[in-house]
Amino acid sequence: MPNVRPSRAKKRTLTFAALGLAPALLAGGLVVGGTEVFSSDGVTLAASAPITLSGHGHGHGRGMGQWGAYGYAKQGWSADRILKHFYGNTTAGKVSTPEVTVSLSEKSSASVHADAGMRVGNEKVAPGQAVSLSGNTATITSGCGGAVVKTVQANQVDPIADGPNRPANELLTFCSGGDKYRGSITTGSGGVLNKLHVDDYVKGVIPKESVPSWADSGGFEALKAQAVAARSYVVSGLASGRKMDNTQQSQMYHGASGEDPRTSRAADATAGQIRLLNGKPALTEFSASTGGYTAGGLFPAVRDAGDSIAPAHSWSATVSAASIGSAFGVGELKSFDVIEANGLGEGSGRVLKVRVVGSGGTVEATGDEARTKLQLKSDWFAVNGQKSMPKITRPQVGADAPGGGLLDLSPLTSALSEIVPGLSAVGIPDIAGLTGQIGPMIEKLLAEGTRALAAKRVVVEGKPSANSQGSLGTVSDDKPSANSQGSLGTVSDDKPSANSQGSTGTVAKPELLTDGKGMPGLVQVIENGILYFSPATGAHALMGQALTDFLAAGGLQKRGFPTADGLN
């Protein structure tokens, strides 16, 4: 379901340092099948000590991040590109059944009128008259609360004319409160219901689930993406038998009374458009802020660089030990640790499991349960002071997540443009088959970097690798994998992909990465440390405490490529 309207998010300050690359090297962990397993060394608490949690994002993080969509729109992304990014494996489609039915959960009765008149059963209701529904009886009165004109057997009131986008004088208006709705109003076992065209419905959703003023600041494409997501969500939900209401449990919806001209333009511009998954309407969930990575699930997890402008991109919360102990029913709290996470993003990414130990026992709970019980903004958080690293269990990842292919290449192309004046950012397919100026530069970087890393490994380990001086097409144990050649391969935020990591003692292939400033280079995990190379800094090795300190300070993204060896 959609989650947390963007405008409700409040900004907090991040205080937890990102650990960055290769957590196994920090805590003596063992890498097994791409999943890191670590010893338990949690936070020891005094009985009254509070715990500070530092996290990212607001909401469940599944599907589209609304602030991320806005950020991408401001960068020039189209609505279609935004939707393809967040809803991987989906395709564009059209609505086949346009009518939707939504429960108006706050309404207990239905008495309505319309300036242009209405229809009930086979009767036309004159302008100025009202209709009250009770069971299967419709009572026509001379205005709201007026004298009875006629009763008919009907449980639905229809506008004077059918079709979407009708003028204001045809909208049905509730006698109590004055709320206006497009389409029809009916009553039944589901309470008071609004039946209307899906495009009319979307006009009442976007202003409640997003921020209309984004249209005034370069975010109109984000509102168009929101329109398609809202439309797909309701169509998919109804097709699968779900009951849809007007609350956050489905989508926030306030009928025509909540419409805004800017978001209505977005709805009109995308009329009938939805996303399809395996040929069926996709349940396109969205949330306010992903924190920088989507959570995965129905759609592959991807990086959300657009989210950097979100007020809740980073936050911190302090929770008392007593509150945690009470929330989980463990008595006096002894320890609270993240023991499993998805490994995407700062810290260890979204929390999959926590362990809570108290005087009354031990409880393990999901990250989402912890989020709910502790009233946190999201399930992406870290416990300040926790020394152990959680087990990493990655979700299915898309092309923009670590281990899943390519990231947004704009930082890299920006960096290369400093070498090649006038170079503009290019898309992934263009990079993959590039034979112009960028291709040879990448080839040169890979070749020089591979040789430099091989030489550095000889210095620090005394282990030369066969074929380490081979051509770019030769694959050896020190050579970038096929996936990281030409197309730039697996690019991640300071973390090699799961496929390039073996058990302790296995050397990973070098991977092409960019630092926090977008400068490209190679990173290679070796037996006892990590090798880094960039054309500006050369090849350097970090091991032991030097590596621990480097990663604790933010790693490649915060510190950039090392300029000297650190071997102890």
pLDDT in tens, the chain (568 residues): 666 567 443 322 222 222 222 222 222 222 222 223 233 344 555 546 799 999 999 999 999 999 999 999 999 999 999 999 999 999 999 999 899 999 999 999 999 999 999 999 999 999 999 999 999 999 999 999 999 999 999 999 999 999 999 999 999 999 999 999 999 999 988 899 999 999 999 999 999 999 999 999 999 999 999 999 999 999 999 999 999 999 999 999 999 999 999 999 999 999 999 999 999 999 999 999 999 999 999 999 999 999 999 999 999 999 999 999 999 999 999 999 999 999 888 888 999 999 999 999 999 999 999 999 999 999 999 999 998 888 988 887 765 544 443 333 333 433 444 433 333 333 333 333 333 444 566 777 788 888 888 898 888 877 554 433 332 222 233 333 333 332 233 223 333 333 333 333 445 677 777 777 777 888 887 877 888 999 889 999 998 888 888 887 778 878 889 999 988 7
DSSP string for residues in 99-146:
EEEEE-TT-S-EEEE-TT-EEETTEEE-TT-EEEEETTEEEEESSTT-
Q: What pLDDT score was predicted for residue 507?
A: 54
Q: What pLDDT score was predicted for residue 460?
A: 82
β-partners of residue 274 are 93
CB 293 within 8 A of CB 349: yes
The DSSP code for 566 is: B
Q: What pLDDT score was predicted for residue 91?
A: 97
Three-state DSSP class for residue 56: coil
Three-state DSSP class for residue 533: strand
State the alpha helices, DSSP H only, in 139-242. 198-209, 220-239
Q: What pLDDT score was predicted for residue 398?
A: 67
Q: Which residues of 150-189 are buried (b: 16+ CB within 10 A; e: fewer)?
A: eeeebbbbbbbeeebebeeebbbbbbeeebbbbbbbbbee
What pTM does this model have? 0.67
Domains of the chain by residue range: 8-60+312-392, 93-221+240-281, 410-559
Pairing of strands 529-534, 538-543: antiparallel
Q: What pLDDT score was predicted for residue 60?
A: 96
The DSSP code for 268 is: H
